[in-house]
Structure 1
Amino acid sequence: MKKYIANIIIILSGIVFITGCSTTKRLGEDEVLYTGVKKMKIEPIEGVKVDGDVISAVKDPLSVPPNNPLYSPYYRTPFPFGLWVYNNFVPKKNKGFKHWFYNKFAKEPVLISGVQPELRIKVVEDILANYGYFGAEASYSLLYNKKNKKKAKISYSVKIPQAWTYGSISYPKPTDGITQLIDSTKAQSLLRVGSQYNADSLSAERTRIATLARNNGYYYFRPEYIEYLADTTQEHLKVNLRMIIKKGIPTMALKAYTVGKIDISLQNSTGKGIWDTIYYKDMKMAYQKPLRVKQSIMPSNITLRPGQVYSVTEQDQSQTNLSRLGIFRYINLNVTPIDSLRGADSLNVQIDGAMDIPLESEFEIDVSSKSNSFIGPGMIFGVNHKNIFRGGEILSVKLNGSYEWQTGKKQSGSKSSLLNSYEIGLNANLSFPRLLVPKFIPRPQKYGARTNFQLGTDLMNRPHFFRMISFNASGGYEFQTSDVSYHNLTVLKLTYNKLLNTTKNFDETMDKNPAIALSFRNQFIPTISYTYTFNKSFGRKGNNRILWQTNGTQAGNILAGVMGLLGDKGEKHLFGNQFSQFVKGSTELKYYRRLWGDNWLASRFLVGAGHAYGNSKVMPYSEQFYIGGANSIRAFTIRTLGPGSYRPPQDNPNAYFDQTGDFKLEANIEFRFKIIGDLHGAIFMDAGNIWLLKEDPQRPGGKLTLKSFGKDIALGTGFGLRYDISYIVLRADLGIGLHTPYPNPDKKGYYNLSSFKNSLGFHLAIGYPF
């Protein structure tokens, strides 16, 4: 006890000593240490509503972080470590531990003079003027520390007046080609009479017109060639705007061009070889032999054509199409230099490229830890040919394997096994950089599309339970229909699962759980699935992001329907094995919002459901839902929750087989913040569970009911660390359980964990949880 008290006294003494050390002793006579923002008062006048983006724009230049900010640009930690090192650990030599420690951790003081508050309030007034709030007033005051006048905080005050709007908008008279083009698209203008003045909108409108012009032959036209004249004297709070073409711009900027000659120069992967030439209908290609690309690939991916009005969009699309093939080491597209035009009406196009080496290999290794007390390494070795049929087709062959051994107590009645558990698989994927569909079906031109075929087999060995082999084959499409919309359609995937052998232990477990046993039977799983992904960044700086993904799968419906029409009634079989029939769907919404600096609020909501019918009583085990683990509810390990309030016997080592369901609901929210350097932290809260949609006597409380829904939601919180080493994120999370769906006879109330120790769940993982 005395030793314990002595340690506490030493620690407290150290803290007092450190915090007592001056952080201003190295400051000059007129220098003042900046310790954060005391208050930021942003007040619109009565009746004026200001958009949140405007408020954020005002706060940005004022939110200067002090030394060691505390999760906010306004406040600093009680003890700024880097500043303390700067003031109290100055080395006398340019070597040794003290020199290394100082260079590693010392942080120069952030001074009031460096913050320049007088300049920042002028920036704020300019920002508000850009949003139409002319005449805004910003001021600041320094609040000196009462104990140390060498320290000060800053208080800001910003008064926002009523915004100005557009009274009238006029465009150049249509006297030539460029002004006629502008006049013809006035209806699509981003500027509207009566809308609020906004400098960003003016810039966006100039960009819109320049893009329009460059897609209609005016290749050398630029946004800066458009000017605005603004008159604010005619009416209070009204801006009369006039758009004009800048005087003195280059002559070629006002001239429309067509596409001239298209020449291609293509090296082989070695850069050595005899040159030859191919003439297409409207382009010429010089290449180094041997030519390892189909002759049709180049013209089919180049959307520019001689004689057409020159379009920058078509130019960019051509280069994107060629780059997307993945067969070139580089591909460059250039037009006739401006000093070589000499009054010409067309722009010649020169495309230079070099073939890449088609073969590449990859090797991955990882170590996993699972909730069933198994740990072990995994390995993937793959070989890819990026141009197997000379048209950008990719053939990938991957060999994957994993080995696991049990770290917990041996299961009762089981024999020791040196070789605990392993899984090995061989998978081949053939991908075409286009949609292989009938010609009457439209194909997306602007965005990439692929057709994929997969074939694979996987052998899973669980010595104390079973050995299973699985075969799968599938074909489908990946395509994009807009900048934010992605589609994945699997036209058919056929999976066959077969148990090669089982142990007595596994058979006894299945005998007690008929529903689980049905999900493990030998069966075909013919599925058709579709996934839609919406991925959009937004906000003033595009920092915020929303990602919505929803998918649906149906299995066996078409096959069952065809067999039914052919007179096959009752239980239906394919090659002597019963096949699955079910529908399954899920939707997941993720929202990421930057709060300030490198601090984020991330959230996720997921719901999914599946229903077996017709030829099946339950969905295959691999298609059922489960919950918990490093990427889910982190206070609980994987497959230790649900379904519903059901909790399997604690002395059953095979309990995790039972903990799957037909319905899943999950919600997560996480505050992510920077600690120091590449080290980040997180505070999170997770909630959710899985349920059955049908009553199962072997799993009481597992069915989804409205009466017990609220109590069935498991809840956990916690905190974690993330270390970002640019290409990978290492993550450690400590989850703390707050509520379990299953009742605890020893603990009443909402917080029903038996003890704080038993409420903890620790996870090591790679990457963010969502």
Structure 2
Amino acid sequence: MRLNNYILLFSAVSILLSCSGTHKIPEGDLLYVGHTIDIEKGKEDKKTRKAIKSELDELIRPKPNKSILGMRPGIFFYNIYDTVKKDKGFKHWVKYKLGKEPVLMSKVDLEYNKKVIQNYIENKGFFNANSKADSTRSGKKAKANYQIKLNNQYKIKSVVFPKDSILLSQEINNIKENSLLKVGNPYDLDLIKNERTRIDATLKERGFYYFNENYLLVQVDSTVANHEVDLILKIKSDIPEKAKNQYKINNIFVYPSFNIRRDTIASRKMDTIQYQDLTIIDNRTVFRPIIFEKTLLFKKGDLYNRRIHNLSLNRLITLGTFKFVKNEFVENNSSKENQLDAYYYLTALPKKSIQIETLAKTNSANYSGTELNINWSNRNTFKGAELLKISAFAGLEVQVSGQNNGFNVYRFGGEASLTWPRFISPFKMTSGSAYVPNTKASIGYEYQLRTQLYSLKTLNTSFGYIWKENERKEHDLKVLNIAFTSSNNVSDLYKEQIAANPSLQKVIDKQLIFGTNYSYTFTNTMLQNKKNNIYFRGGIDLSGNSLGLILGANDYNNPKTILGVPFSQYTKAEAEFRHYYNFNKETRFVSRIIVGAGIPYGNSKELPFIKQFFIGGTSSIRAFRARSIGPGTFNGNETTNSFLPDQSGDLKLEMNAEFRGKIYDFIKGAAFVDAGNIWLLNEDAEKPGAQFSNQFLSQLAVGTGVGLRFDFDFLILRTDLAFPLRKPYLPKGEEWVIDAIDFGDRTWRKENLIFNLAIGYPF
């Protein structure tokens, strides 16, 4: 590196290091830069001390200004403008959005934090612990220091539950086997609170509608033994009599056309419909009673159960028909028994609505673009909460960089769908989850024009079921799925490419898919406080099996046809698994693996093009252009100089790993490694090296890179810069190209550096 480069680098670092945030600290004050916690080693294990320190780090206030390599950009931006007179505008945005006010040592209350620490560790059973607090200074900066001596942690010697003969005590005793309080475990106040919550939740499922966890008292006796406690669970003596009794459901009233103003019920003449256990009160017949019979899970005479109560409310909400759902239970005083009348007040959404939206999008082929959607909806179409939806769309997709630059894609089309909020089937199908099961039928059309190449017309229709067991598990079964694709406007350029690469013909061949597919999704990524989150999606796609049996299709050289078009016959399966390891709220390590296989048989020699596997691109192996890898060791890039063909395969293996962390405010960074490939099931003379073999692991493409994510809440803009580490299509022994990496070489950068611009995270 030349001397002037060293000088430039030194100057840049000097400027950055000068942004430590201390030059405008008021006289007599210091910049607060954080705290240290020192827990003296005692009898407790290292894991316990580490967990306590981690929790205390979150409790201590205030939080210092964030720093990057000793710099505090928040303070830097805050100090750019001394005063900002307006509550909006560029200066206000710089000072209060990008900038952060310096946290001063004068704002740190050491004694308060000491009390917080002492309270926390005592709640964890360290009754004899003690703590100290002081501060240290370095120049214009100060740090708080906390020293803790835990001493001995008290453990649970015994847990005593109520023993009197009343029904409430008996029920509490019946559920003590599932208690969170275990003999021998450390004393923990949070666990005691959770035990009260558990008992309350369980009693609410056993009819105790008026019971409350605050009616439970846990006495702690620490005098029974050396560093041990007895926990004595008691029912408070002054609880209401109602809280001791179980209640059953009596009458169930439904107001489907409820106005938010409660008094309108009495002022308007209502019709009453008695339907099984339901009393439906309405001024007009807007909804058929079967909706509520399928949605409300309580039956007359059932014990009150909060779980069933919440399930019913959730099912009413997920119908997608009601704007407001209100519910109350009123004690029935006319009965000698303990009974509750249930009331459901429902305010419907407007029956018809129209929505216009514009989207920015990216796809797996590395195209970016925009789309206009117009959606018209008719809720409660046949008075059964059905949703009729008709939509039209038009869009443009372009490839900003790469060999497909200039081959733009124009799309337009529409879809009509009808969704019933129940299973429509000759077989008995039920769902007791909080989510209403749906039966959906749809028909759609799309016209896609790839400029200078060809156009495709696709007509599809489907009928199937979508249902969720709970918020984590979802099923999607399309009993019937038909798709017909044909082409026209095939250009001379594309015909020339077909002559050089005959496999491109399959892209424009007529295709008829007549089958069934099913997918299952499990995810717990909505749980924010877990250390580990997972996502799994698996699916199977079957086509042409019934037709193949009926028509006797068993020879792809002489395929059977429907209306002159050969139908596809295949089985395709694909599974995707993701794992999220959360270091904290802002930092996580994410990994993904995708495995897929498609097997053509009978009437088909190969999978339909739209069902084949592709790899590479903005959300796949980012060091390679979209759909430019494989199959196997075959190099499809050499087949054309005009545009990049979509290289496809019957088998797929992809693995990704990405480390994500927050850099500053809305800017997040990532470092990643991707690997994978696709293969053909059968040998293809036109694509040497494409067939799958036991050498598949040595044929993986590997790439790495870094990226930035700009999180604007409503939009996540992602940029990735990647380069290959392994190119499977190079001669044997030369696939790894790590030694050839040279960022200073312009030719290397042009041939290897891939810039990806996308919306949203890759996985």
Residue number in structure 2 paired with 1:74 = none
The within-5 A match list for 1:127-142 is: 127-132=120-125, 135=128, 142=135
In the alignment, the residues of structure 1 paired with residue 310 and residue 351 of structure 2 have an alpha-carbon distance, to the nearest angstrom, of 25
Residue number in structure 1 paired with 2:26 = 27
CA-CA distance at 1:294 after TM superposition: 0.9
Secondary structure of the equivalent of 2:358? strand
- Of 707, 724, 747, the residue aligned with 1:737 is 724
- Give the partner amino acid of 2:348: M
- Of 343, 347, 350, the residue aligned with 2:340 is 347
In the alignment, the residues of structure 2 paired with residue 411 and residue 443 of structure 1 have an alpha-carbon distance, to the nearest angstrom, of 48
Q: Does 1:110 align with 2:82?
A: no
The within-5 A match list for 1:227-238 is: 227-238=217-228
- Of 752, 765, 769, the residue aligned with 2:762 is 769
Secondary structure of the equivalent of 2:684? coil
Secondary structure of the equivalent of 2:223? coil
Whether the aligned pair in 2 keeps the contact of 1:739 and 1:752 (CA below 8 Å) is no
- 487-496 or 40-49, which deviates more: 40-49
Q: Does 1:528 align with 2:516?
A: yes
Whether the aligned pair in 2 keeps the contact of 1:45 and 1:159 (CA below 8 Å) is no
- Of 40, 54, 57, the residue aligned with 2:55 is 57
The alignment's TM-score, normalised by the length of structure 2, stands at 0.86
Secondary structure of the equivalent of 1:385? strand
Q: Does 1:314 align with 2:308?
A: yes
- Give the partner amino acid of 2:393: N
Shift of the 587–112 alpha-carbon distance from structure 1 to 2, 3 Å rule, reads farther
CA-CA distance at 1:621 after TM superposition: 0.9
Residue number in structure 1 paired with 2:142 = 152
Residue number in structure 2 paired with 1:434 = 422
Residue number in structure 2 paired with 1:550 = 538
Structure 2 unmatched runs, 5+: 742-746
Q: Does 1:304 align with 2:278?
A: no
Whether the aligned pair in 1 keeps the contact of 2:433 and 2:470 (CA below 8 Å) is no
CA-CA distance at 1:102 after TM superposition: 4.6
In the alignment, the residues of structure 2 paired with residue 372 and residue 566 of structure 1 have an alpha-carbon distance, to the nearest angstrom, of 34
Whether the aligned pair in 2 keeps the contact of 1:258 and 1:308 (CA below 8 Å) is yes
CA-to-aligned-CA distance 1:154-183 (integer Å, 9 cap, x gap): 455556666544332221114111111112
Q: Does 1:506 align with 2:494?
A: yes
Q: Does 1:581 align with 2:575?
A: no
Question: How many residue pairs are counted as aligned between the two chains?
Answer: 751
In the alignment, the residues of structure 1 paired with residue 314 and residue 476 of structure 2 have an alpha-carbon distance, to the nearest angstrom, of 21
In the alignment, the residues of structure 2 paired with residue 223 and residue 20 of structure 1 have an alpha-carbon distance, to the nearest angstrom, of 53
In the alignment, the residues of structure 2 paired with residue 488 and residue 235 of structure 1 have an alpha-carbon distance, to the nearest angstrom, of 58
The within-5 A match list for 1:463-474 is: 463-474=451-462
- Of 390, 395, 412, the residue aligned with 1:397 is 390
- Give the partner amino acid of 1:763: N
- Give the partner amino acid of 1:278: T
- Of 464, 476, 479, the residue aligned with 1:488 is 476
Shift of the 657–227 alpha-carbon distance from structure 1 to 2, 3 Å rule, reads same
Secondary structure of the equivalent of 1:304? coil
Whether the aligned pair in 2 keeps the contact of 1:511 and 1:517 (CA below 8 Å) is no
In the alignment, the residues of structure 2 paired with residue 125 and residue 411 of structure 1 have an alpha-carbon distance, to the nearest angstrom, of 64
Residue number in structure 2 paired with 1:216 = 206
CA-CA distance at 1:201 after TM superposition: 3.2
Secondary structure of the equivalent of 1:502? coil
Residue number in structure 1 paired with 2:431 = 443
CA-to-aligned-CA distance 1:122-179 (integer Å, 9 cap, x gap): 544544444445545655664432xx1x312345555666654433222111411111
Q: Does 1:476 align with 2:474?
A: no
Residue number in structure 2 paired with 1:663 = 651
Q: Does 1:265 align with 2:255?
A: yes
- Of 695, 701, 705, the residue aligned with 1:717 is 705
In the alignment, the residues of structure 2 paired with residue 134 and residue 35 of structure 1 have an alpha-carbon distance, to the nearest angstrom, of 31
Q: Does 1:388 align with 2:381?
A: yes
Whether the aligned pair in 1 keeps the contact of 2:295 and 2:436 (CA below 8 Å) is no
Q: Does 1:541 align with 2:529?
A: yes
Shift of the 686–117 alpha-carbon distance from structure 1 to 2, 3 Å rule, reads farther
- Give the partner amino acid of 2:282: Y
CA-CA distance at 1:603 after TM superposition: 2.9
Secondary structure of the equivalent of 1:475? strand
Residue number in structure 2 paired with 1:73 = none
- Give the partner amino acid of 1:253: A
Secondary structure of the equivalent of 1:216? coil
Shift of the 238–97 alpha-carbon distance from structure 1 to 2, 3 Å rule, reads closer
In the alignment, the residues of structure 2 paired with residue 210 and residue 175 of structure 1 have an alpha-carbon distance, to the nearest angstrom, of 19
CA-CA distance at 1:494 after TM superposition: 1.5
- Of 700, 709, 714, the residue aligned with 1:727 is 714
- 455-464 or 425-434, which deviates more: 455-464
Secondary structure of the equivalent of 2:533? strand
Secondary structure of the equivalent of 1:398? strand
In the alignment, the residues of structure 2 paired with residue 25 and residue 251 of structure 1 have an alpha-carbon distance, to the nearest angstrom, of 65
- Of 282, 286, 298, the residue aligned with 2:281 is 286
The alignment's TM-score, normalised by the length of structure 1, stands at 0.85
In the alignment, the residues of structure 2 paired with residue 671 and residue 568 of structure 1 have an alpha-carbon distance, to the nearest angstrom, of 47
In the alignment, the residues of structure 1 paired with residue 676 and residue 39 of structure 2 have an alpha-carbon distance, to the nearest angstrom, of 40
In the alignment, the residues of structure 2 paired with residue 759 and residue 201 of structure 1 have an alpha-carbon distance, to the nearest angstrom, of 55
Shift of the 97–254 alpha-carbon distance from structure 1 to 2, 3 Å rule, reads closer
Q: Does 1:326 align with 2:296?
A: no
- Give the partner amino acid of 2:715: I
Shift of the 59–443 alpha-carbon distance from structure 1 to 2, 3 Å rule, reads same
Secondary structure of the equivalent of 1:336? strand
Whether the aligned pair in 1 keeps the contact of 2:21 and 2:75 (CA below 8 Å) is no
- Of 726, 745, 755, the residue aligned with 2:748 is 755
Percent identity (aligned): 28
Q: Does 1:701 align with 2:689?
A: yes
Secondary structure of the equivalent of 1:390? coil
- Give the partner amino acid of 2:177: A
CA-CA distance at 1:195 after TM superposition: 4.0
RMSD of Structure 2 on Structure 1 (CA):
4.1
In the alignment, the residues of structure 2 paired with residue 565 and residue 158 of structure 1 have an alpha-carbon distance, to the nearest angstrom, of 78
- 739-748 or 275-284, which deviates more: 739-748
Structure 1 unmatched runs, 5+: 71-76
In the alignment, the residues of structure 1 paired with residue 458 and residue 528 of structure 2 have an alpha-carbon distance, to the nearest angstrom, of 49
- Of 594, 597, 613, the residue aligned with 2:601 is 613
Shift of the 13–410 alpha-carbon distance from structure 1 to 2, 3 Å rule, reads closer
The within-5 A match list for 1:117-128 is: 117-120=110-113, 122-128=115-121
Secondary structure of the equivalent of 2:224? coil
Secondary structure of the equivalent of 1:643? coil
Residue number in structure 2 paired with 1:648 = 636
Secondary structure of the equivalent of 1:303? coil
In the alignment, the residues of structure 2 paired with residue 52 and residue 478 of structure 1 have an alpha-carbon distance, to the nearest angstrom, of 45
In the alignment, the residues of structure 2 paired with residue 230 and residue 549 of structure 1 have an alpha-carbon distance, to the nearest angstrom, of 48
Whether the aligned pair in 2 keeps the contact of 1:717 and 1:738 (CA below 8 Å) is no
In the alignment, the residues of structure 1 paired with residue 511 and residue 191 of structure 2 have an alpha-carbon distance, to the nearest angstrom, of 60
- Give the partner amino acid of 1:68: K
Residue number in structure 2 paired with 1:624 = 612
Residue number in structure 1 paired with 2:34 = 36
CA-CA distance at 1:222 after TM superposition: 0.7
CA-CA distance at 1:425 after TM superposition: 1.9
CA-CA distance at 1:246 after TM superposition: 1.5
